[in-house]
């Protein structure tokens, strides 16, 4: 039986992928083989030694200690693109809410309306509505930072709304580039994007290089009166720098899915409670994608959509498969194969892939492993883990 430890509310459509005759799935379980979670913050200590894989039913992996996992040979998966449409739709809601004072207008009717007759309500509406007007999005410029799964959809929708769209992504994948409309104008740096955009939307991960991306110096580049939308992560922005930019009027408004205490009570900030991926469809898509990936890894050793291991896939041949993780240093494969040769184990097929400091091998052998084979492989200096799948 494989054991899957879950954190957060994971869609049953995904959990149902684990057949009950092979898997035990629970939010409390001893010696788990894998962990499946959403935004739960995982510490290295909370990852049991038995864990071989972690599946993030979402995009961002900043709640997982990925470097520590890599060192320990724990494969971390995410679900690229599975919640992108849900986030895009909320970003468009954010754009619309910032274009006009829709929330202020609704509050006005809700607070001032009760107890009034139809005539009085009509007067209230017609007298008060001038306070809640705004401007149209069509004809304005939208700057999108990060043109991956979400950013490309936001850019596309911006074009459909009649906006001019600028995009910046220094690490754009070939696949993402194919998805992108030619009408998205590429810019080379943040300063240019900020200075030309009426609305700026962030769609990139928090990495060492992107932490506090929007800092004090960069806020100087905002086009006066522009709006910043952050549906990615709070750590991409320097909160104090944004407060100053809002106070000075350099920024007209900040719309975020990641509330910070400094912004509470401000009329020029809209904070949502991390709702981007909270749709039934996105929750299902993410849970199904992660469950499929975990099952293929646990049962076949195959890796798809890992953030720290190479994509690795091998059709099964032979009788038995070994999945071995080792440090990416010379002579490892030779030593592993020589242990197999010493035990008269013929290799039917194999694949060896590396990513950064880590290497991964799937080796199909023609006989059942003899006693002590796995321990002998694990004893090779540089081997991190070895298992029969």
**Residue 233 appears among annotated catalytic residues:** yes
Residue 360: strand pairing partners = 325, 353
CB 365 within 8 A of CB 318: yes
- Interface residue with ligand 2HG among 14, 32, 55, 58 (CB under 6 A) is 58
Q: How many CA atoms lie within 13 A of 58 on its CB side?
A: 24
Q: Cβ 271 to ligand NAD, closest distance in Å?
A: 12
Give the span between the Cα atoms of 141 and 138, in whole angstroms: 8
> How far, CA to CA in Å, does 6 sit from each of 26, 75, 217, 291?
6, 16, 42, 11
Stretch that binds ligand 2HG, among 196-204, 272-280, 308-316, 359-367 (CB under 6 A): 272-280
Query: Is the Cβ of residue 58 or residue 148 nearer to ligand 2HG in the bound state?
Result: 58
Binding-residue total with ligand NAD (CB under 6 A): 33
- CA 6 vs. chain centroid, Å, equals 18
Radius of gyration of the chain (CA): 26
CB 303 within 8 A of CB 312: yes
For position 169 contacting ligand NAD by CB under 6 A, the verdict is yes
For position 172 contacting ligand NAD by CB under 6 A, the verdict is yes
Catalytic residue (one of 120, 136, 175, 262): 262
Give the span between the Cα atoms of 207 and 37, in whole angstroms: 20
Task: Considering only residues 299 through 318, tell me which ones interact with ligand NAD, judged by CB under 6 A.
Answer: none
Q: Cβ 171 to ligand NAD, closest distance in Å?
A: 3
Query: Is the Cβ of residue 55 or residue 276 nearer to ligand 2HG in the bound state?
Result: 276
Task: Considering only residues 277 through 316, tell me which ones interact with ligand 2HG, judged by CB under 6 A.
Answer: 277-278
Catalytic residue (one of 38, 56, 203, 233): 233
Catalytic residue (one of 100, 211, 274, 355): 274
CB 198 within 8 A of CB 227: yes
Stretch that binds ligand NAD, among 118-126, 140-148, 158-166, 237-245 (CB under 6 A): 140-148
- Interface residue with ligand NAD among 57, 75, 204, 362 (CB under 6 A) is 204
- For residues 153, 156, 158, 162, the Cα torsion angle rounded to the nearest 10 degrees is -160
Max CA pair span of the chain: 94
**Residue 274 appears among annotated catalytic residues:** yes
Q: Where in the sequence numbering do the catalytic residues fall?
A: 233, 262, 274
**Under the rule (CB under 6 A), what is the footprint of ligand 2HG?**
38-39, 58-60, 83, 276-278
């Amino acid at each position: 039986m494989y054991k899957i430890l879950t954190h957060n509310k994971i869609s049953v459509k995904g959990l149902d992928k684990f057949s009950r005759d092979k898997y035990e799935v629970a939010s409390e379980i001893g010696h788990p083989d894998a962990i499946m979670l959403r935004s739960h913050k995982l510490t290295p200590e909370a990852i049991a030694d038995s864990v071989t894989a972690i599946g993030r039913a979402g995009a961002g992996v900043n709640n997982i200690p990925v470097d520590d996992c890599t060192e320990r040979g724990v494969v971390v998966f995410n679900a690229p693109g599975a919640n992108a449409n849900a986030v895009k739709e909320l970003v468009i809601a954010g754009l619309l809410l910032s274009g006009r004072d829709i929330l202020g207008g609704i509050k006005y009717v809700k607070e001032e309306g009760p107890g009034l007759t139809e005539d009085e309500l009509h007067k209230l509406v017609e007298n008060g509505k001038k306070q809640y007007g705004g401007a149209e999005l069509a004809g304005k410029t939208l700057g999108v930072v990060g043109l991956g799964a979400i950013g490309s959809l936001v850019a596309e929708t911006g074009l459909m709304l009649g906006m001019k769209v600028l995009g910046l992504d220094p690490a754009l994948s070939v696949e993402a580039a194919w998805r992108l409309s030619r009408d998205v104008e590429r810019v080379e740096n943040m300063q240019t994007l900020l200075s030309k955009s009426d609305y700026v939307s962030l769609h990139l991960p928090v990495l060492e290089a992107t932490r506090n991306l929007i800092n004090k110096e960069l806020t100087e580049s905002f086009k006066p009166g522009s709006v910043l939308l952050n549906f990615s992560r709070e750590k991409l922005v320097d909160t104090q720098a944004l407060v100053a930019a809002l106070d000075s009027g350099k920024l007209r408004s900040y719309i975020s899915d990641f509330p910070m205490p400094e912004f509470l009570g401000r009329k020029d900030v809209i904070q949502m409670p991390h709702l981007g991926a909270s749709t039934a469809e996105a929750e299902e898509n993410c849970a199904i994608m992660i469950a499929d990936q975990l099952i293929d890894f646990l049962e076949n050793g195959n890796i798809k959509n890992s953030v720290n291991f190479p994509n690795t896939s091998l059709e099964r041949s032979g009788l038995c498969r070994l999945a071995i993780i080792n440090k990416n240093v010379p002579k490892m494969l030779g030593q592993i194969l020589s242990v197999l040769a010493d035990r008269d184990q013929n290799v039917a097929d194999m694949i060896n892939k590396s990513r950064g400091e880590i290497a991964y091998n799937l080796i199909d052998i023609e006989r059942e492993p003899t006693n002590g084979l796995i321990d002998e492989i694990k004893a090779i200096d540089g081997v991190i883990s070895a298992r029969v799948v």
